[in-house]
């Protein structure tokens, strides 16, 4: 009975906080401009069309995916016509007009190619915090002015050679040095500057079937990263990737963070994905491990970015699906994990990564009920995905960190496609 009362009031608190956040989002200045812009810019129109037209959505995203590999306007124009005139694609009249050219290398063809690539580039810049470190630093300054912290991620494709793995590490060492130089007292007040990294990029031959070998090789480079990060005063967070790498990632990090050299570090974090059926039990094991370790680590709780890929791959290979198949199950698991994570705030600090008002409101409600000290709980969003929510959270006095991916468009394409898929999914809040 006590439990029921607790959860009823928790639900009421969650809804009240969500209403408050929504009101703060609606009250933000500039929203009229965003609305006006949404109706006029081609990139916004592209997004709006995909919401109601699944056939167009698939072909448009295939086209965006292939775009960086096309080197001439004629090639782009040819692909535009080829992809967008396939059966099952319903074209809005503005797109029909754009495709109304006889030959890809004609003037109208070239104009169509330019219009389309400009729109995609504008779209990419909305989700990518800069193409180089100088641009990212400007983004960071803007975040600071709005009392938000950051984590920087270098965009990249899968690492397939050892030279690429070494280059990945070096890029992060350089990035951290530059971040440390540019770090202002504001960041010190908010929290440490932070980078986000992917374990698979530290070793090109990473293979869950050779867990020991992969762990040893990746760990070697991660040690270098962590040592530099400590000297520079930069925190390090590990993203979570596809399910096939999950156990290897958790085991590698748990092993490293138990080593005497790193055991006292409280500025390192890892990520759990609530769409995984075994994520709740992973969190339970992590709690036991953290108790043993004695120094807190941060857990970024997210729902998971590879849902379509996990579903398709497990079906193709006849494996059990590692992810929930209903969005509501992921959402419910996210809330259960939020509760468990926050209940263990003395050994696991919580970073709630979501653009869903309800998910963030739930975490705040639980944090309030448990009277969690502010430094043990923060909200996180991806750059460009939930600006209004981030601003509302920050205005309401919550700690907010924005995940800032940066880099060139080509390596960033798969990141862009994941964000577009999410932003145009009918299941989103
Ligand atoms: C700061 C930050 C860092 C992130 N880091 C990572 C990371 O390291 N690794 C990673 O994988 N993701 C990461 N993400 C992305 C995250 O996993 C989500 O993809 C994204 O935040 C969308 O979830 P939401 O709660 O914002 O939105 P919502 O719209 O509430 O949820 C969308 C999510 O629900 C899930 N979903 C959708 N349809 C279904 C379905 N039919 N059945 C079951 N589940 C479904 C998917 O996970 C989908 O992404 C990060 C997100 C943020 C904000």
- Predicted pLDDT at 360: 98
- Predicted pLDDT at 4: 43
Q: How far is CA 98 from each of CA 71, 112, 122, 187, rounded to the nearest angstrom?
A: 20, 6, 18, 46
Ligand 1 and 279: CB distance under 6 A: no
The answer as to whether 236 is a domain residue is yes
Indicate whether 328 and 238 sit together in one domain: yes
The answer as to whether 24 is a domain residue is no
If you measure from the C-alpha of residue 304 to the centroid of ligand 1, how many angstroms do you get, rounded to a whole number?
A: 4
Number of structural domains found in the chain = 2
Ligand 1 and 380: CB distance under 6 A: yes
User: What angle (nearest 5°) sits at the alpha carbon of residue 109, between those of residues 418 and 75?
Assistant: 55
Instruction: In whole angstroms, give the CA distance from residue 151 to residue 192.
Output: 9
The answer as to whether 14 is a domain residue is no
- Predicted pLDDT at 6: 47
Q: Which of 324, 302, 300 is nearest to 311 (CA)?
A: 324
Ligand 1 and 355: CB distance under 6 A: yes
Instruction: In whole angstroms, give the CA distance from residue 46 to residue 414.
Output: 18
The answer as to whether 150 is a domain residue is yes
**125, 157, 188 — which closes off a domain?**
125
**88, 109, 125 — which closes off a domain?**
125
178: CATH: 3.20.20.220
Q: Which domain holds residue 196?
A: 129-423
Q: Whose CA is nearest to atom 25 of ligand 1?
A: 354
Q: How far is CA 322 from each of CA 318, 329, 336, rounded to the nearest angstrom?
A: 12, 13, 18
- Predicted pLDDT at 1: 37
pLDDT digits (tens), the chain, 429 positions? 334 444 668 899 999 999 999 999 988 765 444 554 555 677 778 777 877 788 888 888 888 888 888 889 999 999 999 998 888 888 888 888 888 888 999 999 999 999 988 888 888 888 899 989 999 999 999 999 999 999 999 987 678 899 999 999 999 999 999 999 876 544 444 556 999 999 999 999 999 999 999 999 999 999 999 999 999 999 999 999 999 999 999 999 999 999 999 999 999 999 999 999 999 999 999 999 999 999 999 999 999 999 999 999 999 999 999 999 999 999 999 999 999 999 999 999 999 999 999 999 999 999 999 999 988 999 999 999 999 999 999 999 999 999 999 988 766 777 788 788 777 775 555
If you measure from the C-alpha of residue 354 to the centroid of ligand 1, how many angstroms do you get, rounded to a whole number?
A: 7
Indicate whether 272 and 169 sit together in one domain: yes
Indicate whether 205 and 286 sit together in one domain: yes
Indicate whether 374 and 306 sit together in one domain: yes
- Predicted pLDDT at 125: 85
Q: Which of 155, 274, 353 should be mutated for ligand 1, with most atoms under 8 A from CB? A: 353
The answer as to whether 216 is a domain residue is yes
Indicate whether 60 and 209 sit together in one domain: no
- Predicted pLDDT at 5: 42
- Predicted pLDDT at 189: 47
The answer as to whether 5 is a domain residue is no
CA dihedral 224, 247, 425, 118 (to 10 degrees): 30
Give the contacts of 317 (CB within 8 A, at least 6 positions apart).
Answer: none
The answer as to whether 149 is a domain residue is yes
Q: Whose CA is nearest to atom 29 of ligand 1?
A: 428
Q: Which atom of ligand 1 is nearest to the CA of 380?
A: 1
If you measure from the C-alpha of residue 84 to the centroid of ligand 1, how many angstroms do you get, rounded to a whole number?
A: 28
Ligand 1 and 307: CB distance under 6 A: yes
Q: Which atom of ligand 1 is nearest to the CA of 429?
A: 29
Indicate whether 86 and 141 sit together in one domain: no
DSSP assignment letter at 323: B
Instruction: In whole angstroms, give the CA distance from residue 95 to residue 116.
Output: 10
Indicate whether 95 and 139 sit together in one domain: no
């Amino acid at each position: 009975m006590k439990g029921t009362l607790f959860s009823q009031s928790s639900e009421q608190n969650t809804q009240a906080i969500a209403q408050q956040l929504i009101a703060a989002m609606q009250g933000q200045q500039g929203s009229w401009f965003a609305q006006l812009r949404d109706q006029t810019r081609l990139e916004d129109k592209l997004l709006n069309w995909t919401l109601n037209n699944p056939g167009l959505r698939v072909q448009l995203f295939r086209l965006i995916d292939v775009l960086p590999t096309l080197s001439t306007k004629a090639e782009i124009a040819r692909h535009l016509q080829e992809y967008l005139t396939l059966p099952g694609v319903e074209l809005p009249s503005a797109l029909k007009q754009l495709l109304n050219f006889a030959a890809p290398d004609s003037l109208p063809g070239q104009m169509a190619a330019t219009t389309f690539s400009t729109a995609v580039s504008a779209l990419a810049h909305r989700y990518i915090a800069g193409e180089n470190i100088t641009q990212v630093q400007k983004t960071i300054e803007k975040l600071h002015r709005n009392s938000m912290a950051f984590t920087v991620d270098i965009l990249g494709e899968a690492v397939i050679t050892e030279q690429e793995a070494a280059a990945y590490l070096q890029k992060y060492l350089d990035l951290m040095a530059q971040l440390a130089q540019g770090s202002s007292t504001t960041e010190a007040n908010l929290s440490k500057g932070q980078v986000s990294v992917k374990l698979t990029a530290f070793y090109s031959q990473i293979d869950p079937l050779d867990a020991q070998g992969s762990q040893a090789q990746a760990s070697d480079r991660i040690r270098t990263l962590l040592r530099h990060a400590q000297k520079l005063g930069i925190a390090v967070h590990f993203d979570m990737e596809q399910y096939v790498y999950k156990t290897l990632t958790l085991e590698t990090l748990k092993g490293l963070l138990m080593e005497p050299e790193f055991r006292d570090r409280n500025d390192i974090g890892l990520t759990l994905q609530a769409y995984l059926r075994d994520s709740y039990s992973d969190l339970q094991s992590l709690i036991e491990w953290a108790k043993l370790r004695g120094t807190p680590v941060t857990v970024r709780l997210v729902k998971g970015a590879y849902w379509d890929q996990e579903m398709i791959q497990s079906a193709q290979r006849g494996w059990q699906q590692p992810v929930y198949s209903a969005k509501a199950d992921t959402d419910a698991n996210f809330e259960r994990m939020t509760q468990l994570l926050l209940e263990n705030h003395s050994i696991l600090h919580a970073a709630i990564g979501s653009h869903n008002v309800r998910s963030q409101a739930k975490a705040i409600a639980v944090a309030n009920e448990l009277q969690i000290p502010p430094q043990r709980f923060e909200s996180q969003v991806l750059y460009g995905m939930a600006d209004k929510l981030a601003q509302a959270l920050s205005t309401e006095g919550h700690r907010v960190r924005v995940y800032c991916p940066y880099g060139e468009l080509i390596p960033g394409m798969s990141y862009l496609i994941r964000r577009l898929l999410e932003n145009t999914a009918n299941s989103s809040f």
